[in-house]
Structure formats: C-alpha cells, structure tokens
Structure 1
Amino acid sequence: MKEGGIVTVYAGGDVQSQAAGIKEGFEKAFPGMKLNVIVDYSKVHDGRLDFQVATKKIIPDVVQFQTLHDFPRWKQEGILMNYKPISWDKVYKDFKDADGAWTAGLIITFHSVSNKDKLGNIKTPKEAKDFLDPKLKGKLISAYPNDAAAVLFWYKQNIDKYGWKWMEDLMKQNPKFVRGTHVPKNEVKDKNTQYTTTLGTSRDASSQSSTFELPEKDGFMAWAQRVAILKSTKHPESAKLYLNWLIENQGSPWGVRTDKIPPKGYKQIWEYKNSNMKEFENFMMDRAGVESFKAQIRLFVGDVKGEPTPGELGLYPDKPLSK
C-alpha cells in the first residue's frame, strides 16, 4: 500500500474481459489494492515491451505472455527481476527459470470445443481425422493459424503426423477463419450459429452445452504461461504479491504446481505425453521455423482479415482500453 496500492500487468489474451476473473480475485483477496491488467495479443505486447525498453519508458510491473521464447532473451538482456515466490519449490520443474527470472503462472490448453446439442447424431470429433467427417462440412470454425502461434502449432502437430494432405482435406470442409482464439468457442455456443466445432481452441468451463475433448491417439497442446517481474518496476512488493497470489490460486483442471491435484478423470498436465508441452516450447524458440511454417499455412487460409480483438492500444498503454 505504501507503493501506491497498484500493480500493472501486461497480459497476453484476446479481449480485456478475459482478465476479469484474476482482477476480481486479487482485489477481493487484498482490499485496497488495484490490479491493473492490460490485455493484448502476446505477439503485440512483447514488441511493445521491447519498444518501451528501447525508449526507456517501461509501463508494466509484470508481464505474462504466451511468447515463451521472449523470456530467456529478456533474462539475458537483464530486464527481468530474479524472484522466487513462496511456492516456487512446488512449481513443476519445467515451468520455472532456475534463477527465478520467470515462473509459470497458469496452464492453457488448446484442442477442440464442440456444442453437443448442435452436433446431434454427429460423432464428437477428438482425433485429427475426425474433423474430416463429411457431416462436419461447413460446421468448423478456427482462429487464423497464421495469426496466433498457439493455434499455428496445433495445426502443425497434425500436419507433422498426417502430412499436408490432412490440411488439404480439412480445407475441403470449408472451415471459417476468424481473429481471436475466444471467438470460435463463443460462436459454437450461439444458438443461431451454423458452427458446431472449433479447431485449436482453449477449453470453456462456462458452458453446459459445450464439451472440450482430449484426443487419445493424436496430440493436443498445452503451455505454461510465463510470468516475470520487470526490474524497472516502481511497485516491487505489489508485483511480488501478485505473483505469489497467482501461483497460489490455480485454475481448473490444471495448475503449475505439483501439489495441486487435478479433478477426477484428469492427470497432471505434464503426464500427458500427447500434450506436446516441450515441443511447443521448442517450436517457439525456433523463430525461423515458425515464420516458415506460418508462410506455408497462409497458402491455405489466406491473409489474416479483421480488426484485432483487443483493439489498438498504442505504444504506452497504462490502463485497459475497455472493460
């Protein structure tokens, strides 16, 4: 509170409303504190942070992004604070930097969400080839894979296993491509939509009609969203408080801590061999490989169309663009 009672977080995401839960939870836990979360695509926020470092006008206290490759570089550049939160020893070994420069704060998983009511007698797709069912033609929706690296990797693992013919056959299904990974799952929940199933989307715990199915034979994907405190922070104790709280308050079904027991029917996320967590990290580290694969995918889906779902936040956003 002596620092001003505020901590500013640049958070990777699709829309500002995705931050509502952590903001409400943190501020309820610590009355008088304000969590100022500013959401934008991770691939935009990371460039913004690099720009702010270059211009010596750094806004956030904390960054939490999907761009896993940035954090080792930022550590090497000396802009991250080495800090090990109270439960650091309980964080899974692959989800933290040895010196505490960054620590994973939450788990995000991508595969497929389907609306059970709209599917009717169509088999709920789980494996990669299930999406090629002729009954699903015109019913699939996806974020542009050349717009979001996590979605890009979801496509890559299927193409690596089944070849480019899988992608060719998928395009014959006339899938719809949109901006924002939240848009497809929102679309399949809409009672008036023609779309029943998403491709490469995070699970949605808020809907009774939608189901998130994990494949048994093929891959899905997951990653541990990395969180770091910046050395430039003017609110170091507030930033530490936030990081401790985030690691203590894990989402469902998976968390970053080894002592968080997943619900019945689930294993720890790192126990799923087909979650491809390490493979995704390696993919993100290979920047030339990412760009090469993105260019090939673009041949199928075309250029990304549409306005960015978080809006245009500018160079130095210090508060959310909208609620």
Structure 2
Amino acid sequence: MSRLLTTALLLGQTFAYDTVLGFNSRPTVETRTIDEIYSAALKEGGTVTVWHGGDEKDQQDSLKSAFEKRFPGMTLNITVDLSKYLDSELDQQLYHNNVFVDSIVLQTLQDFPRWQQEGALLNYAPVGFDKVYPAFKDSISASWYGYSVFFWSLSWNTAKLPHVSNISSYSDFLKPEFKNQIVITYPNDDDAVLFAFYQIMQQLGTKWFDDLLKQNPRWVRGTATPFTILSGANYSQSATFTSFSGFNPGNNIKISFPTDANFVSWPQTAAILKDAPHPESAKLFHNFLLSSEFQKTLPLSARQDINSSSSPYHDIMHTPHTNPTAFARFMSDRVTVERVRFFFENRLGTAQGLSPLIDDI
C-alpha cells in the first residue's frame, strides 16, 4: 500500500526540457589567453561581483582567495545566499533594468534556460567550455554551464558512533543505534534535499519516511548545518545524508554512498549576465572556473577530461546510484516540485529557525 501511495505522490516528473534559442544566440568563443583576459579585466577596474548559492557566508572564501591569489590586483566580491532567494532578487534587477551583478552560480537549474530565453545571459564560451559534459551546458548558446558537481553523501562521526563501522544505505538510518542521532535538512526548505527524499521514496516507499520520523531526527535549515552539527563535539547528533562534505571531510568523519536508492548529484551552474557592469572581469572569473588548474582542485569536476585527485569517481556519468542530470529535470517540473514539497510540509510543518546564514545553530 505504501508503494502505491508513493507512486501516486511521485508520478508526474517530466523527463526532459528543451532550450529555446534566444535572440542573437550565437556565442562568442574565447580565443584569448588567460593573461590577455586578465589585462583587459584590470583595465576595466579589476572588480567582479558574483552571487553564489549556498547557506554559509564564508562558504566560498576559498574560491575568493584562489581567484585573487591567481590574479593580483583583482577583487572578487562574492555574496553567498540561498539560490532560491538570489534568483528572485536577480529577477528584480532584470525587471528594473538595473543589473549590478556580473556573474551568478546557482542551484536553481530551472532558471538558466528561462533567463537564456529572455536574453538576460551573455552567450559566451570560456576556454574549457568544450570540455564540459554536454548534459551540463547549453551547447548552442553557451550562456550557462556547470562548473562543479555537487552531491550529498552518507556522513557520520565515528567518535560519536564508535560501534558503527559502515553505513551503506538509507535503510541503515532506521536501525536502533541511530535513534536521536540523525540531523537532516528540511526537505520542504531546499529543492536538492527535496529531490533526495523524492528519489529515496521512489525506491523505499512512504513507510521508509514514516520509520525515519520514529527515529526522532533533528530537522534544520541549510545543507551545511547538518555537517556542522555532526562534526561538533557539543552536539549529540552524529549522522546525516543531506550535507556536502567532499571526499576528505576531516577527522572522525566518514562518508559513503547508498546502495538502496540514488543519491543526489548535480552541476552547480554558472552564467554571466548580458548587462554585466564588468564583462571582462566576469569573463576572467569564468575562464578561471573552467581552467584545468582550478578544476583539478574540485571534488568532482564538470569537465570530462579532468580527474580530480580526491575523487574515487572519475566519470560521474557512470557512477553507480546517481544521475547528475536528473535534478535539472526535477527542477524544471515545478508542478511536481510543489506537490512533493507540500507533502513534506504537511508532515513536518514549515521549516523552523532563522536562515542558516544568520543562525548560530
């Protein structure tokens, strides 16, 4: 019966979306060297303003440091906030013809084809664009492309769970030893987490969710918050499956990947605004993002030809138990997204707590 209910709940996802070409869709293909673009950016003023999706203000400090170290004299003004808020604020800029952001890097993948169709994005292919997985980019207009593959893993603190040698499935979280030990992001507050639950319940049914609630998990806002809590000695919770920690998460933290349902992975997607006030600086930033030197530092590269040193997966397209193109299809089907969201809101209530960017947990 639970499987029938799950099927009724989850049916309706579309399986593809098409990019409709916007006006003047032919892209500019970059042929300059990185140093030539750097020189043009310095002459322009040496500043680039970027909005990056995330839920901790300092989440992209390492990107800022790497960019400014690589290009002395350049300033990367990077703002991190939830993608669902940044996209609506960008729409306001576009509506009022007052674009002051140069570049966006967001999780709201459904917005990029729309902005491309509206003529809001610059049709520009940085060096390395041809190496990006075709499914992660608009190959015709070059107006948007993934730069890094994000993913959720199963994560736990071995110091807090000394008797747990491994977690290999979502079903493991239903074992007695995880009672009161789980911390999870509200699925009705973050679309990537919503998609994680969507995929799990496609395989394990609504009974899995009912049994998860019996484990008395701690529900939080933000996808960085669970990892902060399970890592912290002052918190009792010790395990999660809704946080990104890379492949080398640190002392006492182990990660694994599920075998009983798919885990979420997607290309965090970037674009330059057509009316960016600092177009040369934005181009420099995007050429840096897709450069082999930077891509090799990422847990999972969006380029087919880059094998990140820390990654056990060298071909994300053929990694077991994940499909990095599925999240974009889910995000484009807003009817299904809202229907599934309200299922969880009905069970859990609205997400409680301040935005993770201002909450001290």
Question: Normalising TM by the smaller chain, what interval?
Answer: over 0.9
Which structure: larger Rg? 2
The 5 A counterparts of 1:261-276 are 261-263=307-309, 265-276=312-323
> Structure 1 residues 297, 245: closer, same or farther in 2, change over 3 A?
same
* Aligned residue in 2 for 1:320: none
1:122 aligned to 2:168? Answer: no
The correspondence for 1:211, drawn from 254, 269, 276, is 254
**2:340 equivalent in structure 1:** 293
Please state if 1:169 is matched with 2:216.
Answer: no
Query: Equivalents in 2 of 1:271, 1:37: separation in Å?
Result: 33
2:143 equivalent to 1:97: no
Partner of 1:202: 244
CA distance in 2, matches of 1:192, 1:61: 40
Q: Does 1:232 align with 2:266?
A: no
Is 1:131 matched with 2:173? yes
The one-letter code of the counterpart of 1:75 is Q
Number of the residue aligned with 2:89: 48
Partner of 2:225, secondary structure, is: helix
Taking the aligned partners of 1:216 and 1:163, their CA distance within structure 2 comes to 15
By how many angstroms is 1:311 displaced? 4.3
Question: Percentage identity across aligned positions?
Answer: 38
1:246 maps to amino acid: L
Q: Is there any run of 5+ residues in structure 1 with no aligned partner, and where?
A: 313-323
Deviation at 1:31, TM superposition (A): 0.1
- Tell me the CA shift for residue 43 of structure 1: 0.3
The gaps in structure 2 that reach 5 residues or longer are 1-41
CA deviation string 1:294-313 (max 9, x = no partner): 0001122221111112249x
Q: State the Cα deviation string for residues 15-43 of structure 1 (Å, max 9, x = none).
A: 11001010000000000000000111000
Q: 1:6 aligns with which of 39, 47, 53?
A: 47
Given the alignment, which residue of 107, 116, 127 partners 1:75? 116
Q: Is the 8 A contact 1:146 1:297 kept in 2?
A: yes
After the TM superposition, which residues 10-25 of structure 1 pair with which residues of structure 2 at under 5 Å, given as runs?
Answer: 10-25=51-66
Deviations 1:30-70 (A, max 9, x none): 00000000111000000000111112211210011000000
Compare 270-279 and 300-309 and name the one that shifted more.
270-279
SS at match of 1:170: helix
Name the aligned partner's letter for residue 277 of structure 2: K
Q: Distance in 2 between matches of 1:7 and 1:267?
A: 32
* 1:263-291, Cα deviation, whole Å (9 max, x unpaired): 47333222114212222111100011100
Aligned counterpart, 1:222: 265
- Relative to structure 1, the CA distance from residue 169 to residue 120 in structure 2 (aligned partners, 3 Å threshold; closer, same or farther) is same
From 286, 295, 298, the equivalent of 1:243 is 286
Which shows bigger deviation, 62-71 or 259-268?
A: 259-268
Of 86, 105, 108, which aligns to 2:127?
Answer: 86
Greater shift, 87-96 or 289-298, is seen at 87-96
Q: Secondary structure at the match of 1:225?
A: strand
- What is the TM-score when the length of structure 2 is the normalising length? 0.83
Question: Is the Cα–Cα contact under 8 Å of residues 141 and 177 in structure 1 kept in the other structure?
Answer: yes
Separation in structure 2 between the aligned mates of residue 201 and residue 212 of structure 1, nearest angstrom:
11
Structure 1 segments, 4+ long, off by >3 Å, are 262-265
RMSD of aligned C-alpha atoms? 1.5
Contact 1:111 1:154 in 2 (8 A): no
Whole-angstrom CA distance in 1 between matches of 2:347 and 2:61: 35
Contact 2:154 2:258 in 1 (8 A): no
| 8 Å CA contact retained: 2:133, 2:304 | yes
Which residue matches 1:316? none
Q: Which amino acid aligns with 1:138?
A: N
SS at match of 1:7: strand
The CA deviation string for residues 81-113 of structure 1, in whole angstroms up to 9 with x for no partner, is: 000011111111111111201011111111321
- Residue 254 of structure 1 aligns with which residue? 300
Match status 1:107 vs 2:149: yes
1:174-213: CA deviation from partner (whole Å, max 9, x where unpaired)? 0001111111101111123211101221124342211121
Confirm or deny: 8 A CA contact 1:112 1:203 kept in the other structure. Answer: no
How many correspondences in the alignment?
Answer: 312
Counterpart of 2:37 in structure 1 is none
1:254, 1:268 within 8 Å by CA — same for their partners in 2?
no
- Distance (whole Å) between structure 2 residues aligned to residue 311 and residue 84 of structure 1: 36
Q: Secondary structure at the match of 1:240?
A: helix
**C-alpha distance in structure 2 between counterparts of 1:66 and 1:51, whole Å:** 18
In 2, Cα distance between equivalents of 1:126 and 1:170: 16
User: Deviation string for 1:218-241 (max 9, x for gaps)?
Assistant: 211110011000011121111011
After TM superposition, the structure 1 stretch with the greater mean CA deviation from structure 2, 97-106 or 37-46, is 97-106
Which deviates the most, 233-242 or 192-201? Answer: 192-201
Which residue is 1:178 aligned to? 220
